[in-house]
Structure 1
Amino acid sequence: MSGWKERLLVLSLLVVAMAYVESAVVVYLRQVYGISDLLRDVPAQPDWPPPIELGREIATLAMLFAAGWMAGRTGAARWGLFMYAWGLWDILYYVWLRVFIGWPASLGDWDLLFLIPLPWWGPVWAPMLAAALMMAVGVEMARRSEAGWLIRLDRWSIAVGGLGALLALYTVMAPALHALPGGWEAIGRARPQEFLWWLYLLGWGLVAFAGWRIARGRPPHLSL
């Protein structure tokens, strides 16, 4: 556990800076495309966003993964710190946007959350709740793993967590999924009319149960 707090602090500082950069890029994109209201102003043409923007999202996740991997000392700790970094980055992304442009005005504001493989739509509180869970589960998994606890996936956790993830993903991808038969142009025009918050919270709860079950691991003397 030598240097655990120092490594977590350095990782957190890196994530603060990455969130700043991500938020700044989004501010520029909003200015370029004239976006003030996401539901109304996001371009609907099938060639938006360009491949470069999709690549930026992938590159961001790759950097977060690399940072978590370098900060951890065991396999489970590396994955856990990647989850922690991703969650913290997501929360700070909204914090920086609030500082820069005063958005979101509330946690209920709609946001275009992600673009891979289809657009994700949801109120700001939804990704922030998911991010908080990732941080809690990730840091606990990393801490226990580096203390010698055995972190292992089990079938029950995989099944429960997988079901929860599918439910949560459906709620944020529902507009795009319903528009899928109409092709990419219909997907680009699709906008959410309501958010199935109860279904999202059910999915979140299942993922939380599975994640915490995995993160708590087993004590060293029971790992044989």
Structure 2
Amino acid sequence: MSGWKGRLLTLSLFAVAMAYIESATVVYLRHVYGIQDLLRDAPTQPDALTPIELGREVATLVMLGAVGALAGRAPAARWGLFLYAWGLWDIAYYVWLRVFIGWPASLGDWDLLFLIPLPWWGPVGAPVLAAGMMMVIGAGIARRSEAGLPVRVDRTALLLGGIGTAIALYTVLAPALHALPGGLEAVGRARPTAFPWGLYLVGWGMVTLAGLRLAGWVRSP
């Protein structure tokens, strides 16, 4: 499968299979820690498994980046396919969890999304929305690059993407950031009470617009 469609299909199969492994690992961790409700039962203090879990998160991104690099034929295409694989992996991860343990019951269920550099909290709908955008934009950038068309990173795209990313990250890191003055123990105990969807959508929209410019679907003035 050396053509564009074949490589995209192979990359998709990898992302879905990798999501199976990721979700299976999370099922095991839930059993180890006795987690039924993440907000109530997630560990509040680091333990012997914490550095292993942090390493697993880094390894996940390395694997997605590596397979994107192998699938792409040009630098911009490699970056785009990394984003596409990341997005598909994230969506498939929740699909597999739903198959395995019936969770999430809805897109509004809270999830502990990431641990680096601090815990990220958000409803499942937030990463799913971001993942869908990453798939579309990533595939668009990769397709444009492999067609021999330029992918220009202009100042407006950088500004929109940078500010939008910062806003979106704040919404998922807010509980940990607000607790940070109390030390790492307070960060571990911090739990969200409400998600700022309006602010998140502003950040998501800015990043999406930046991506559309990079993919050539929105022209620079």
TM-score for the superposition, normalised by structure 2: 0.96
1:4 aligns with 2:4: yes
Residue aligned with 1:178, SS = helix
Q: Cα gap change, 1:43/1:146 in structure 2, threshold over 3 Å: closer, same or farther?
A: same
Q: Which 10-residue stretch deviates more, 185-194 or 148-157?
A: 148-157
* Paired residues of 2:15 and 2:85 also in contact (CA < 8 A): yes
1:154-169 alignment runs, 5 A limit: 154-169=154-169
For these two proteins, the number of residue pairs brought into alignment is 218
Q: CA deviation at 1:113?
A: 0.5
1:1-224 alignment runs, 5 A limit: 3-47=3-47, 50-216=50-216
Q: CA deviation at 1:149?
A: 0.6
Give me the whole-angstrom Cα distance separating, in 2, the residues matched to 1:199 and 1:218: 23
Counterpart AA for 1:154: D
Provide, for residues 49-100 of structure 1, a one-character-per-residue CA deviation record: whole Å limited to 9, x for no partner. 5111000000011000000000000000000000000000000000000000
Give me the whole-angstrom Cα distance separating, in 2, the residues matched to 1:196 and 1:8: 35
Provide, for residues 189-208 of structure 1, a one-character-per-residue CA deviation record: whole Å limited to 9, x for no partner. 00001100000000000000
* Paired residues of 2:84 and 2:139 also in contact (CA < 8 A): yes
**What's the Cα RMSD here?**
1.5
Specify every segment of 5 or more residues in structure 1 that has no aligned partner in the other structure, as ranges: 220-224
Residue aligned with 1:7, SS = helix
Provide, for residues 8-30 of structure 1, a one-character-per-residue CA deviation record: whole Å limited to 9, x for no partner. 00000011110000000000000
Give me the whole-angstrom Cα distance separating, in 2, the residues matched to 1:171 and 1:137: 22
Give me the whole-angstrom Cα distance separating, in 2, the residues matched to 1:136 and 1:72: 16
* Paired residues of 1:150 and 1:218 also in contact (CA < 8 A): no
Q: 4+ residue stretches of structure 1 with deviation over 2 A?
A: 46-49
Give me the whole-angstrom Cα distance separating, in 1, the residues matched to 2:163 and 2:68: 26
Residue aligned with 2:215, SS = helix
TM-score for the superposition, normalised by structure 1: 0.95
Q: CA deviation at 1:46?
A: 3.9
Counterpart AA for 2:134: M
Q: Which 10-residue stretch deviates more, 148-157 or 127-136?
A: 148-157
